[in-house]
Amino acid sequence: MFREKTRVLVTGGAGFLGSFLCERLLAQGCHVICADNYFTGSRDNIAHLLDNPYFEVIRHDVTIPLYVEVDRIFNLACPASPIHYQFDPVQTTKTSVHGAINMLGLAKRTKARILQASTSEVYGDPAVHPQREEYWGNVNPIGPRACYDEGKRCAETLFFDYHRQHGVAIKVIRIFNTYGPRMHPRDGRVVSNFIIQALAGEPITLYGSGEQTRSFCYVDDLIDGMIRFMDTGEEHVGPLNLGNPGEFTIRELAEAVIRLTGSKSKLVHEPLPADDPKQRRPDITRAGELLDWQPAVQLEEGLTRTIAYFDRLLSTGTGHADARRAAER
């Protein structure tokens, strides 16, 4: 585990994943610095941590260099859903590329170990199934998703080049679909979309036939794997798949949400977005062998927890203001 009061920087620390990571690191006795520009993150996500004397918050955009003294860096900063990363695609690419350069520069100066939160999107619309880390992917470099897909691929390149050229201690993980409480309610991702629509009694939107598949990892499992990998020896650099290998069609997900919410919502179909992957499932053999890790929370249990979170926000009017706006639109 981390030594007592290890100083850890979490970029994107007020986001969905970042807030859970900050919480877990504080529980382990770390001094945590959360940096976020609040484009998709929210102070609501970290409000319960603000009174902790070992938690600092900096409003900062990673495209600008940051000068702090730290032992570990988790680089999570980047909008991760299509509706957000396509809002300003040039800035999305800058966040991945310039952000990686700036955080790697900080790691080089401070001799900190640094972890890059990459993504399963580096595999694109995969021609290999399930996806192993050795697979190079099938990505459209000029499509509407390329700002995120190629930005993350370039970030991985930078991490490995800083490691080879400058000896920076790196870790690269590839995160597959992750869900849970504190998801941004208007991020356009299927889990939050379906839950908000079901709780509001609105039609649930399926893009394409609904037969495309995804694998859904509950946030607690993902954070556990992320921290375990950061704590491995410096010879283990990745890339490492982290996700739940259980594979479900989008239609199956929608039907599960309707059942668990008791909603009367009907399914409606819209055209499939450009370059949307038809299947996605991680091969987590490497993570199992290296970390003794596998997801513990099954989909129905995780959905039940996530539904309870959104239901509480919508019914009490507390927490993430965007949840209320999403239900009112």
Alpha-carbon distance 281 to 106, whole Å? 34
Strands 213-215, 247-249: pairing is antiparallel
Alpha-carbon distance 100 to 118, whole Å? 11
Beta strands in the chain (DSSP E): 7-11, 31-36, 55-59, 72-75, 113-119, 170-175, 178-179, 204-207, 213-215, 217-218, 240-242, 247-249, 267-270
Distance of CA 96 to the CA centre of its chain: 13
Q: How big is the chain, counted in residues?
A: 329
Of 328, 306, 307, 303, residue with least CA distance to 317:
328
Main-chain dihedrals φ then ψ at residue 233, nearest 5 degrees: -60, 160
Looking at residue 118, the DSSP 8-state letter turns out to be E
Alpha-carbon distance 314 to 311, whole Å? 5
Calculate helix-pair angle for 321-328, 190-199, nearest 10 degrees. 60
End-to-end CA distance of the chain: 45
Report yes or no: 20 and 220 within 8 Å, Cβ to Cβ: yes
HSE-CB for 14 with a 13 A CA cutoff:
21
Distance of CA 177 to the CA centre of its chain: 7
The answer to whether 38 is a known catalytic residue is no
Q: Which of 148, 179, 218, 309 is catalytic?
A: 148
Alpha-carbon distance 132 to 135, whole Å? 6
Q: Which residues are catalytic?
A: 148
